A and B are shown apart, each in its own frame.
Chain A
């Protein structure tokens, strides 16, 4: 996907003043939060389950090389082919190569965020093949000239029903529908033809299971089941970090994933796809490929942000993030928005291409407390900030300001003198209203707020006077 993460602030501004988008965001805000809370109450002990989820994911990462080799061995034993993609470009090259080998003309896809990293659909079309997205959200975005996704589990969440209705009427040349049910039926009618005529299906992978060489797909629309079993060829694409040692581990993680994501006890469909279709089997692809993607992950694994790789892509961090809720997913400018995106994007596309993202958080830790695998998101954002500070990737004014503050705060007598003067001055500037409408060096604050004036005396002075009484 085209990288726009360096323009966070500008994009956030555009989205904050976009009345239609704000209305759409307002409508969905809180829905995920409420449903998640309700479904988690079904668990006897959420915190214990969460700790188990963390441990499973961490165990996989601690010996990732070993689990990947076990996965490869078991997948091959079931007749699948395992391909390794070091870069996003390798993902596209593998997929096109597979398509050529099997004489593929039409490809259907169920949702894969990893394939967004390499803009796979565009590469397929550039090679002269047809590709159809079958996840309803992804389909909506595809027919809107590949609009980028704004959320990892609800890629078109930013769109209203009316916008989708307009888009369908225009694209399908049909009468404009107004009911959601009608719109879904229309999409289904269009997509059914493609399932039956496609030669190859591409899916993502919520988990790769090492002990069985399987891919697990967690979906609600049934499209992934069709896309992976009807065509002759199935290609599952996911990151190296999505390995889970055993099916038992998957069962534990499945207690957390749908509940944290959509607030469902379990998703409508859970596919566990293992190997190619056997001789007596009715369902399944004849040829099965796994494209296992690095694209920056092994570098993260070796660094201090490694805990981010525990992510199971539930989206709870963005659903609970007040910044995400206000500016929407497109502001973040790449595949993964919200708190986890603000860690993954700088890691995968380069810290210099995403300078605002680690800073664009109040560190309120709402994300950290809802994460089902206990990723300490604020701590990781802070580590990125440290890296930016060390590499001089922040404005010199900010650096100078921080250094001046630390220097002054380490010198109490000078601090008292300087601050005593400053608070008297600001108190006077506040006037009778006791409000400052502008601040030196604080335009960011006063654009949208006043600053209450200080009382005019330092605590230390008042306390000393009180003690003398």
Chain B
């Protein structure tokens, strides 16, 4: 099974270890991983800021890079959600591209959904002796239907105990450029999230989107919490959790 890994620009730039963890997990599930070397960004920043033309150019690039793959997987609900639920709209007035986008969308998956439902991963390589809480990122949850998959996978990590926090489905306040345009509001939402993480008593918060990670970790540290770890689920499942 040839699986194209859409690394996402944030992982490429900020946390390449998450991308490597995703490769290990896909390989552990028996997939043949293909990483198109020219890939960059899915176009979401432009799309959400109203720059349709800019977003369209990048979406066409992703289409060309990944069309040869049986499946396309991203370690992000946000970027996979962009491809799966918004690309067809982006090309609404260009029928040939729209059809290609729809075909790609049908084969696009968020990482944990793919591991749990397509590869049906029974055992995971990782181990983590810690109590963790899971933050449901917005696009993953509400665009990609990611809710039970990460929890089912975390349950297979030796040593790991999951404890749910209050309002785990509420936005952390990242919202892409929203975090910069409305920094004060964004930081308040992030602060609410940090409060719920603290109240859960977990040693670490685990999640599936790097945007939320940077936001939550950034706010935790500014609050003076240097201890609570912020981990991408790919790192936890693949066993890089301890090293990060």
Contact = CB atoms under 8 A, between A and B. Distances in A.
A412 B12 CA distance: 12
A385 B183 contact: no
B51 A389 contact: yes
Contacts of A419: 12-13
B40 A402 contact: no
A361 B171 CA distance: 10
Interface stretch (B101-109, B123-131, B156-164, B213-221): B213-221
A9 B174 CA distance: 17
Contacts of A459: 7, 11-12, 16, 19-20
A366 B138 CA distance: 8
A29 B49 CA distance: 29
B189 interface: yes
Contact of A445 (B9, B58, B180, B191): B180
Contact of B45 (A368, A405, A435, A451): A405
Contact of B17 (A365, A402, A444, A455): A455
B3 to A, nearest CB: 14
Nearest to A454: B14
Contact of B218 (A398, A451, A466): A451
Contacts of B39: 412
B46 interface: yes
Interface residues of A, number: 67
B173 interface: yes
Given A359-B181, A405-B41, A448 B19 contact: no
A412 B15 contact: no
A369 B43 CA distance: 24
Contacts of B213: 452
B29 interface: no
B207 interface: no
A323 B179 contact: no
Contact of A385 (B49, B189, B219): B49
A322 interface: yes
Contacts, number: 205
Given A405-B46, A445-B179, A322 B35 contact: no
Given A409-B41, A454-B15, A455-B17, A447 B187 contact: yes
Given A362-B173, A389-B50, A415 B40 contact: yes
Nearest to B139: A365
B13 A382 contact: no
Nearest to B53: A406
Given A16-B185, A454-B15, A365 B143 contact: yes
A449 B190 contact: yes
B16 A326 contact: no
Contacts of B192: 322, 326
B242 to A, nearest CB: 16
Contacts of A390: 50
Contacts of A403: 51, 54
B170 interface: yes
Interface string A278-322: 000000000000000000000000000000000000000000001
Given A362-B138, A362-B174, A449-B218, A409 B9 contact: yes
28 contacts: A9-B182, A322-B170, A323-B185, A326-B185, A326-B189, A359-B178, A365-B142, A366-B138, A384-B50, A389-B51, A394-B50, A403-B51, A406-B58, A409-B43, A419-B13, A433-B221, A445-B218, A447-B183, A447-B187, A448-B184, A449-B218, A450-B217, A452-B14, A455-B17, A458-B16, A459-B16, A463-B19, A466-B23
Interface of A: 9, 12-13, 16, 322-323, 326-327, 356, 359-366, 368-369, 379, 382, 384-390, 394, 398-399, 402-403, 405-406, 408-410, 412, 415, 419, 422-423, 433, 435, 442-452, 454-455, 457-464, 466
Interface of B: 7, 9, 11-17, 19-20, 23, 35, 37-41, 43, 45-52, 54-55, 57-58, 61, 89, 138-139, 142-143, 169-171, 173-192, 213-215, 217-219, 221-222, 230
Q: Which 7 A-B pairs have the closest CB atoms?
A: A448-B187, A362-B175, A444-B183, A389-B50, A385-B50, A406-B54, A459-B16
Given A398-B177, A452-B14, 16 more contacts: A16-B185, A16-B188, A360-B182, A361-B178, A362-B174, A390-B50, A402-B46, A402-B51, A409-B9, A409-B61, A415-B40, A423-B13, A433-B221, A445-B179, A448-B222, A458-B16
